[in-house]
Amino acid sequence: MSKYFETIEQMEKDPLLDSEPMAASAAATEFRAGRQQWAAEEALSIVQTVFQRQSQEQPRVVVFAGVDHGSGCSQICATVAESLARHRTTRVCLVEANFRSPALPAIFGTTNHFGLTNALLGAGPICCFAKPVVQDNLWLLSAGACTEDSPNLLTSDNLRERVKEMRKDFDSVIIDAPPLTRYSDAVVLGQLSDGLVLVLEAGTTRREAAFAAAKTLRSANIPILTAVLNKRTFPIPKSVYRMV
């Protein structure tokens, strides 16, 4: 993993970062289109790498967590969930477990008022707390009504039971967790999952922070399924990216 980060640090000296702002709107549009295409391709790659493993048992409950705040983890979760639902006919549930700064409802243009916190505090089938989005086989379990004490719900026995229920009702569950450097929520959630996808932000995530996050996960016996370098301004050769 050290060779990977050394290579990334060298490649992150992107000439685009020091250049003049793009004056032509056409160039800016082309740049955004390229980013969107990369996101779609990256999401499909994660689906194939994580959820469609051929040589071993496929994970069904996967946590996504950034090393730092602002890594774009929620957007990656949403894109991967859409890609997974689009390429498979199975039922996919996307769970907003970031009670401190929930972002998934805004991404899908829906509300956050009824979701995971309500499921942890109340009774009823878990499906009653989730809502279909975009596709018939993609469901969003938003954070729900959040208070300052809401994060404490992630350490309750109810969470373990609700995750078990999700395993029964859905074929794949993607959980969006808070950043690892700030909170322990991702570790708690990771211990109930089949593994974690680590999200790094290009040009921002420090190597020491990434190593520390990986060490924390391994000490908690949480498998790191793959790592994603988000918000990079140019593609990294696959031969390098496989070094994660």
First to last CA, the chain: 6
Compute, in degrees rounded to 10, the torsion defined by CA atoms 235, 237, 241, 243. Answer: -160
Type of residue found at 14: D
Cα separation of 117 and 182, whole Å?
21
Per-residue pLDDT band for 231 (boundaries 50, 70, 90) equals low
The CB density around residue 145, as the number of other CB atoms within 10 Å, is: 15
For the chain, the structural domain boundaries read 2-241
Question: Do the beta carbons of residue 40 and residue 69 sit within 8 Å?
Answer: no
The CB density around residue 109, as the number of other CB atoms within 10 Å, is: 8
pTM exceeds 0.75, yes or no: yes
Cα separation of 76 and 60, whole Å?
17
> Could you tell me the two tokens for 192?
């109930």
Name the CATH superfamily housing domain 2-241: P-loop containing nucleotide triphosphate hydrolases (3.40.50.300)
- Stronger pLDDT, 92 or 11, i.e. the higher one: 92
107-162 pLDDT tens trace: 999 988 889 999 999 999 999 999 999 878 999 999 988 777 777 888 888 999 99
5-63 pLDDT tens trace: 443 343 344 433 333 444 445 544 443 444 455 567 888 888 888 888 776 788 999 99
The CB density around residue 19, as the number of other CB atoms within 10 Å, is: 8
